[in-house]
Amino acid sequence: MAEFTMPSLGADMDEGTLQEWLVRAGDRVRKGDAVAVVETAKSTIEVECFETGTVGKLLVDPGTTVPVGAALALIEPAGEPGAPKEREKPDKPKKRRRGDEARPEEREAQERRPAAQPAPGPAKEPVPAPAGVNDGVRGDEGPLIRHLAEQAGVDLDAVHGSGPGKRVTRADVERAAAARRLPARITPLARRLAGELGVDLSGVTGTGRDGAVRAADVRQAAPGPTAPAEQESSGAAAASPSAERRPAGMREAIAGLMARANREIPHYYLSTTVDLTAAMDWMHEYNRHCPPGARLLPAALLLKAAARAAREVPALNGFWTDDGFSAGRGVHLGVAVSLRGGGLVAPALHDADTLELPQLMAGLKDLVHRARTGRLRGSEVSDATITVTNLGDQGVESVLGVIYPPQVALVGFGRVVERPWAVDGLLGVRPVVTATLSADHRATDGAVGARYLTAVDRFLQSPEEI
């Protein structure tokens, strides 16, 4: 059994509060699946697991605050013998398949499931059965039923058996399959909205004529601003750091980290002004030909240039630890996002150097939205290899930032402003931006930093190629 532990979601985190489990004991999980929601001083984060297997026991109850590294759950890696096959459903009487008991023959069942089917060892992880669970143990379903269920994508464990001994019958499977199927009628607007809001239409009940799913039904089903509160178990809500307390906690966390960065990291600073005429012309032209929702902002071009330059100058893209510099695997661009009501997070835009601009723009929107609604993922919070801060929206022209440890560089962009600019001996007015670099002198010297900013400039001169 592997332990799933409270992760370190940034150099400034020593403990976290488990707010909510997204899995139950017995659930199968894959590496990268979000399994729990953890609240830190700075934000609420969905934490992914690093194992593929089956969730064994949940060791920590929602609402509990534990130090980084503490075990939260046990995960049975895939392939290990004895992995439990069934899901525990604490809110429902547990259904068990038992192949070793004689059951009345079922009409649809052509043959009985072989008794050799590995059954979960009753001695292993005995699950306390809720009252009433034994008033009818469900029988085993024949291969026909299992085949039908598999074809229809129906989870037999979730089906209420109406046959003798609570056995699942063919009719039960068909009913469940029908319930799972997409509603017969979905208005075009509803279908479009479902795509935009990420709503799975198979679970939506239509209130329109002939049961048609309409926009209102989709909006109802969408995870709105009130939904997370509803999902939260009452225990977690009571024990988690309250919303009012978070700003203070966040301030404290930022204070600690920035003080450490300034104390430990010998910063050097470089600055250059970049002519954005080509970039802005290209962007406006691009925007004229695309739907409003797909427009680009200057920030997307600046981030892309920063990411490409980081790939070109890998000495600035990585971490400084006690042993020295280690280059980051991929360019995961930390994007500083200021939160309403104060505070700052810098989640990572993964592999930003490889994203096409429309993808990068979409990723940026999504990241900022989730940063502000408290639904960042653990990997986003901890993976950044270099951070970009863009204070242009705040109206300033340049920003000389403090590096986010253990990273070794921070790139700053100011506001895009129109300035007199000499080109080929003539003076013109051009949109320009001041790009700055704060870098860790332990890891690199000024010449490396200069190469970086020159690369940023070069990329911004050929926007169609970045």
What 3-state class would DSSP assign to 154? coil
Contact yes or no for 84/120 (Cβ under 8 A): yes
- First vs last C-alpha separation in the chain: 46
State yes or no: residue 299 binds other proteins (CB under 8 A). yes
Separation of CA 309 from chain center: 26
Report the alpha-carbon distance of residue 251 to residue 409 in Å, rounded: 22
Nearer to other proteins, 66 or 362 (CB): 362
Instruction: Candidates 121-129, 206-214, 264-272, 405-413: pick the segment binding other proteins (CB under 8 A).
Output: 206-214
Cβ 289 to other proteins, closest distance in Å? 11
Instruction: Please identify which residue in 126, 128, 188, 198 interacts with other proteins, judged by CB under 8 A.
Output: 188
Provide the token pair at 92: 């429902």
302 touches other proteins by CB under 8 A: no
Q: Which are the contacts of 92, defined by CB distance < 8 A and separation ≥ 6?
A: none
CA atoms within 13 Å, Cβ hemisphere of 378: 23
Distance CA 283, CA 228 (A): 37
Write down the least CB distance from residue 419 to other proteins, Å: 18
Query: Residues 363, 381, 37, 89: is their CA dihedral positive or negative?
Result: positive
Q: Is 392 in the site for other proteins (CB under 8 A)?
A: yes
289 binds other proteins (CB under 8 A): no
CB count in 10 Å sphere of residue 103: 20
Minimum distance from residue 368 beta carbon to other proteins (Å): 5
Tokens representing 128 are: 């306390």
Residue with Cβ nearer other proteins (171 or 216): 216
Task: State the number of binding residues for other proteins (CB under 8 A).
Answer: 30
Q: Which residues ranging from 356 to 385 are in contact with other proteins (CB under 8 A)?
A: 364-365, 368
Question: Which CB sits closer to other proteins, 238 or 290?
Answer: 290
208 is an interface residue for other proteins by CB under 8 A: yes
Restricted to residues 91-150, the positions that interact with other proteins (CB under 8 A) are: none
Listed residue (333, 281, 315, 331) closest to 460, CA to CA: 281
What is the identity of the amino acid at 206? G
Binding test (CB under 8 A) with other proteins, winner from 293, 324, 420, 425: 293
**Bridge partners, 38 (sequence order):** 18, 45
386 binds other proteins (CB under 8 A): no
Contact status: 287 vs other proteins (CB under 8 A): yes
52 binds other proteins (CB under 8 A): no
Q: Does 297 bind other proteins (CB under 8 A)?
A: yes
Q: Between 73 and 283, whose beta carbon lies closer to other proteins?
A: 283
- Decide: 196 and 365 in contact? Cβ < 8 Å: no
Q: Is 263 in the site for other proteins (CB under 8 A)?
A: no
Residue in the block written with tokens 């203070």 = 248
* Residue ranges in contact with other proteins by CB under 8 A: 187-192, 208-209, 212, 214-216, 225, 283-284, 287-288, 292-293, 295, 297-299, 338, 340, 364-365, 368, 392-393
